[in-house]
Structure 1
Amino acid sequence: MNQVTKTIVLIHGLWMTPRSWNLFHEYYEMRGYRVFAPAWPRLDGEVEDIRRNPSALDGLGILEVADYYENFVRSLDEPPILIGHSFGGLIVQILLDRGLGAAGVAIDSATPKGIWKLPFSAIASVSPVLLNPWNYKRTVALTFEQFTYAFAHTMSETEARSAYQQNTIPGPGRPIFQVASANFNPWAATKVNYRNPHRSPLLLIGGTKDRLVPAVQNRINYKKYARSQAITDYKEFPNRSHLIIAQEGWQEVADFALSWAQHHALTETHTQTQTPPRDRMSSL
């Protein structure tokens, strides 16, 4: 099959750095793709440096992150496949809505405005941020126990501790507050046009054991696009926690995301036939 693009942009989530994409990054490069995994704006240095002084991230919000990635994507010589995890998945949805990307994949995506379902595990996962209103302008670090509950509870303690040491940094609290208050804010930074018929194809991926963004929220997110004629699809992987991109079985997720994106980007390029999302839901 001909490939419509050879460029991939990986967008990491909150409390993470581009290191979280190391497995995907190498995997896609080995398949001949040009892969970029730029860090969020203001996120400079290695994980250990940021842990020592995360103050540069204080007050960083969703629109600043989205604008940064928009400028990066526009600087490329071809529209890339956009793949985002967690808050990176929300950024992918925003960028697609702005007309960017050949196709987008949002993995365990933070929720855009308009999704009211809020399971207890999601509340518990972000409570270290939301319980203190001063965290809106500060960075917040997760303890190992908090990280394990929200990200890695399906891993062994050894695996979870390794992931925690390798990947986690204090994250800005503002994006959590922006998502939490979005449904009460007409100018919410997380707003997307679910009916946009002109955006590139979007795949949403959920994990059945995700606590931070439970699969039910991903399914609702998917159904919000039901009135758009743009291609939208949903895939749910069993026994995956929020750290789906680094836990056992990550290759299956990487393969599915890439093959889906290439197929639908190519279809979108060569035909005008698009299937409404409510007819396209799939699961393993």
Structure 2
Amino acid sequence: MAALGTIILTSNPHRRMTVNPRAVLTGSNDKMRIPYELKQGQSRHFHKLPSGLKMEFIFQKGHGEKFDKSPAQPPPPPPLVFVHGSFHAAWCWAENWLPYFSQHGFDCYAISLLGQGESDSPAGPVAGSLQTHAADVADFIGKEIRLPPVLLGHSFGGLIVQYYLSNIGNEKLQEMERAHPFLAGGVLVCSVPPSGNSGLVWRYLFSKPIAAFKVTLSLAAKAFQTSLPLCKETFFSASMEDELVLRYQKLMTESSRMPLFDLRKLNSSLPVPRMKDSFLGIFVLGAKDDFIVDAEGLNETGTFYGVSPVCVEGVAHDIMLDCSWEKGAQVILSWLSCLNRDQTLGRSR
């Protein structure tokens, strides 16, 4: 998945975050050779982490018609911070969803995790761990965002968001000046469930062996990078135009210079702990035609957070890039409107 492929072969089962400095890999080959061209109103920036490494983020300021038309003066819409999964980077949000949500008044930030997109690469074979990626996101939010944002994560980015959520209010981290800043809410988009992908793997092996083989070939062996049909089947709807799939295939191939995680260390971190703030708004969104995260995985995530997941018809795993990307964006926008209204009522009481 924009994440599952990094562990498909396994069957096991704040302000500021201080991390040990890791060397930057320099040279012309450590960034995307096919750069993503920004759309109108978008700008590319780099956030310097405590390690000295720089993390790319694409920003688009909110403008146009506000999403809340109520006569009462609403609070400003919360900023939106987007976290991608494996084989993707900030560009995957910038293509469709950043323009969409910015037009509804939201300031949008899409980050590229270390070793992905135009971000620096750390020394070593992998980009980091669940803990370090969440810490990088926390450092970015603590230093770059003024208001509590809504944090959105796709696929394995969703698992990073879940780990972030579980550490909000962690007193031990606060004492070490590593606290994860408070959020206005969290959105998990086609996310790996809290227990990881092992359940998905076993279900595919026993119920859909051909699909299991294709997913393994596509992601673990990275065959999606060279096979257009396999790339389409893994990430997109069958009706997606081949020309568009080819464009995204090239960007995905260039986006991930190293795996996001060390598989064994990742498994030792799962399942993610429960959230301490049970009142934080969480939205779980899935795609009916998702080739990677099945309905059972979606329901597991919803049950874990005590919410009813929403499954969108007619879209695939890459819900923000698929030919019907508006469907998922519209559902999230509706949820954001309710979230903002509820928070406004809470302040008035």
Q: Please report the TM-score for the alignment, with normalisation by the length of structure 2.
A: 0.61
Partner SS, residue 37 of structure 1 = strand
1:200 is aligned, of 272, 280, 303, to 280
For residues 28-43 of structure 1, the aligned pairs below 5 Å read: 28-43=101-116
Closer, same or farther: CA 177–142 of 1 in aligned 2, 3 Å: farther
Question: Are the equivalent residues in 2 in contact too, given 1:12–1:18 (CA < 8 A)?
Answer: yes
Q: CA deviation at 1:197?
A: 4.5
**Distance (whole Å) between structure 2 residues aligned to residue 11 and residue 114 of structure 1:** 17
Q: Which amino acid letter does the alignment assign opposite residue 126 of structure 2?
A: G
In the other structure, the counterpart of 1:255 is 330
1:143 matched to 2:211? The reply is no
2:290–2:316 contact (8 Å) kept in structure 1 = yes
Tell me the C-alpha RMSD between the 2 structures: 3.1
Structure 2 alignment gaps of length 5 or more = 1-69, 169-181, 205-210
**How far is 1:149 from its partner?**
3.0
Distance 1:141 1:210, change over 3 A: same
1:59 aligns with 126
Q: Distance in 2 between matches of 1:15 and 1:242?
A: 13
TM-aligned CA distance change 1:126 to 1:202, over 3 Å: farther
Preserved CA contact (<8 Å) 2:130 2:163: no
TM alignment of 1:117-136, pairs within 5 A: 117-118=200-201, 119-120=203-204, 121=211, 124-127=214-217, 130=220
TM-score, normalised via structure 1 length: 0.74
Query: In the aligned structure 2, how far is the partner of 1:219 from the partner of 1:15?
Result: 25
Structure having the higher helix fraction is 1
User: Amino acid of the residue matched to residue 103 of structure 1?
Assistant: G
The aligned residue for residue 21 of structure 1 is 93
1:209 maps to what in 2?
A: 289
User: 2:282–2:305: 8 Å Cα contact kept in structure 1?
Assistant: no
Letter in 2 for 1:165: K
| Alpha-carbon distance change, 158 to 64 in structure 1, aligned in 2, over 3 angstroms | same
C-alpha separation in 1, matches of 2:298 and 2:157: 14
- 1:242–1:178: structure 2 CA closer, same or farther, 3 Å change rule? farther
Q: Cα deviations across residues 227-274 of structure 1 (Å, max 9, x unaligned)?
A: xxxxx34110112111111112212211211331342254256449xx
The alignment-based identity, stated in percent, is 20
1:109 is aligned, of 178, 191, 194, to 191
Q: Separation in 2 of the partners of 1:122 and 1:270? A: 47
**Is residue 151 of structure 2 the alignment partner of residue 82 of structure 1?**
yes
* Letter paired with 1:242: H
Larger radius of gyration: 2
Judged with a 3 Å threshold, the aligned counterparts in structure 2 of structure 1 residues 149 and 178 are, in CA distance, closer, same or farther, namely: farther
CA distance in 2, matches of 1:105, 1:29: 17
Residues 153 and 191 of structure 2 are in contact (CA less than 8 Å); yes or no, is this contact kept in structure 1?
Answer: yes
Return closer, same or farther for 1:203/1:165 CA change in 2, 3 Å cut-off.
same
CA deviation map 1:102-123 (0-9, x unaligned): 0111111022227734332467
Post-superposition Cα deviations, 1:166-215, rounded to whole Å, max 9, x if no partner, equal 44433533538359x73xx3xx1x43234644352111111111112223
Separation in structure 1 between the aligned mates of residue 318 and residue 124 of structure 2, nearest angstrom: 22
What SS is found at the alignment partner of 1:9? Answer: strand
Are 2:236 and 1:152 aligned? yes
Supply the distance in 2 between the matched residues of 1:80 and 1:211 (Cα, whole angstroms). 30
Per the TM alignment, residue 19 of structure 1 is displaced from its structure 2 partner at its CA by 0.8
**3-state DSSP of counterpart to 1:10:** strand
- Mark the runs of 5 or more structure 1 residues left unpaired by the alignment: 132-139, 227-231, 273-284
Once residues 257 and 155 of structure 2 are traced to their aligned partners in structure 1, the CA distance between those partners, rounded to angstroms, is 13
With over 3 angstroms needed to count, the CA separation of the structure-2 counterparts of 1:195 and 1:40, relative to structure 1, is closer
> Cα offset for 1:8?
0.8
Contact 2:151 2:183 in 1 (8 A): yes
Q: For residues 57 and 246 of structure 1, do their structure 2 counterparts lie closer, same or farther at Cα, with a shift above 3 Å needed?
A: farther
Letter in 2 for 1:193: P
Instruction: State the SS of the aligned residue for 1:111.
Output: coil
